Amino acid sequence: MKAVIQRVTQASVTIDGVVKSNIHQGLLVLLGVTHTDTNQDIDWLTNKIMGLRIFNDAQGAMNLSVGDVDGDILVISQFTLYASTKKGNRPSFLEAARPEKAIPMYEEFVNTLSRKHNKPIYTGEFGADMKVQLLNDGPVTIILDTKNKT
């Protein structure tokens, strides 16, 4: 799994002109799933996201997690995180998991993250044409890859 985590003051996802989800202070997580991902990848990635100390404390140092600030989380499926541009100019998405693998993994990721955060996780819609808006705070953007844990 790959994830791009952005600290935001607000973020939303719109599908067919209708806002599906809207958050304020928290994290926007763009999530990509590949063929070899397992529940262990979900567990590692959700722990890492919940533990990231990327919110400012009273002294202005990045020392607090999303749970510490009671922030919201918006998760958007993003198969393009597995784009390969090694040959030519048209990206190949062969490393992205097919929907029959990706959808259950995405749903389990959201459910696991919700349990660990102890609050609902906001989402887009898998496979939909989504318009994502965000106000990146900092900006703070972190990239995590479960195949690169060490």
Token digits for 105? 């993994």
Catalytic residues: 78-80
The amino acid present at 1, given as its one-letter code, is M
Q: Return the bridge partners of 72, or none.
A: 26
Q: Among 141, 144, 147, 114, which residue's Cα sits nearest to residue 31?
A: 144
Q: Among 136, 128, 138, 140, which residue's Cα sits nearest to residue 23?
A: 136
Where would I find the H helices in the chain?
39-51, 99-117
Q: How far is Cα 70 from Cα 86, in angstroms, rounded to an integer? A: 41
